[in-house]
Structure formats: C-alpha cells, structure tokens
Amino acid sequence: MLWLLPRALAAFLARRPGTLVRFREASIHELLLALDAGEVDCVVGRFSGELLDSEAVRGLRVERLYDETLAIICSVGHALARRRKVSWDDLAAAQWVLPPPELATRQLLNTEFIRAGVTPPRPLLESSSFATSVSLAHELGTLAVVPLDAARLAQQHGLVQVLRTPLSSFSAPISIVQRPSSLQGHVYADFLAAVRSAAQSRPRR
C-alpha cells in the first residue's frame, strides 16, 4: 500500500484541484470506530479474515481491492541474511518486532505459523508502523514483517535484507470499508474511483 494512496490522491486532485483531503493514520480498530462515529468517510487498509468476521466490521460495506504481498526482513548483517533458504525453525528462534496482536498483519503471520505446526513468535518489540519496523530491524537485528514494496525499497538503500522463507504466498487483503448508509456525493465518488483505479493499475510482481 506504499504507492496506493499517493497515486490515488494524485489522480483525484488532478480531477478535483483544490479539494482538501484529510488522512488519519491509526490502527484499523481505531479507524473503524472513527468510521462508525462519522468522523471519517471510509477506511482503506489491511483486513485479515479474522477481522472481517469480527463484530467491528459487521454491517459495514467491504470492497476488496487487491492482495498485498508481505515480506520478512532482517538487517544486512543478520546471520539469516546469508542463508539461501530460511526454515520455520529459524524464524521461530529469531527475535522479532511485530505489529500489535489486533492488527491484520500480526494475525496473518500467526495463522501461517500455526498452519505450519510452529508456535508463533513472541516479539521483542511491537510497532504498528512499518517504517519503524524497518528501522528497528536495521538497528536492533530483529526480524520484521512489512509490505514487499517497502521491504524492497529499504533493501535498495542497504538497510535490510528480504529473506527467502516458507511464506512464499504470504499476503494481506487491502480493502475499502464504508458505512452502509454512506452518501456518495460527486467529490467523494471521484475519490473512491481514484482509489479503485490506482489499485487496478498497481505494479505487478
């Protein structure tokens, strides 16, 4: 999702110049509460199956945009960075910085470990920011899970190494969530159209 909103915003402002767009960054649960309170028009983010089945989303309009590939990273000096292939045991034994348990990325990672018959890692630190996770992996020598786009960008700058792990198909669905009674004026409809168009034209792997 590193590129999605900037690209969507560029297209939207080209069509609606001078329009003020307010973005709020918070956990999915906090954003859903804001949506329910009418403080935001929509939520664009990662939603795990567990979260989509929860009471927090019940009754809301959910539109799946695409699946975002995730990656496991470590510092370039980490012992696992030199491995051609990293095993489940390697991942379980490592120190991690992970999102809080209520976030979709953490839930998806835990599910993958459980499916493999391995106890999910207990993190050394928790962070809801992917940028912070990259910095901590670089500075502290922990593993972290971040979107592949962000991982590749950090790798290009020599900060981290993307690991080859058993999580080859690890991904999180990116969705737009709205209230069922959302009134779509022309400006808001144009914003949603820009988000959908950006998602459809996303970089291919």
Least confident among 53-67, 84-98, 111-125: 53-67
For 111, residues 6+ apart whose C-beta sits below 8 A from its C-beta are 48, 50
pTM of the prediction? 0.81
Question: Mind listing the domains of the chain with CATH numbers?
Answer: 4-67+172-200 (3.40.190.10), 68-171 (3.40.190.290)
Burial 113-145 (b: 16+ CB within 10 A, else e): beeeeeebbebeeebbebeebbbbbbeebbbbb
Q: pLDDT digit string (tens) for 112-163?
A: 999 999 999 999 999 989 999 999 999 999 999 999 989 999 999 999 999 9
Band of pLDDT at residue 26, cut at 50, 70 and 90: confident
- Whether the predicted pLDDT of 49 surpasses 90: no
- Whether the predicted pLDDT of 203 surpasses 70: no
For 135, residues 6+ apart whose C-beta sits below 8 A from its C-beta are 159
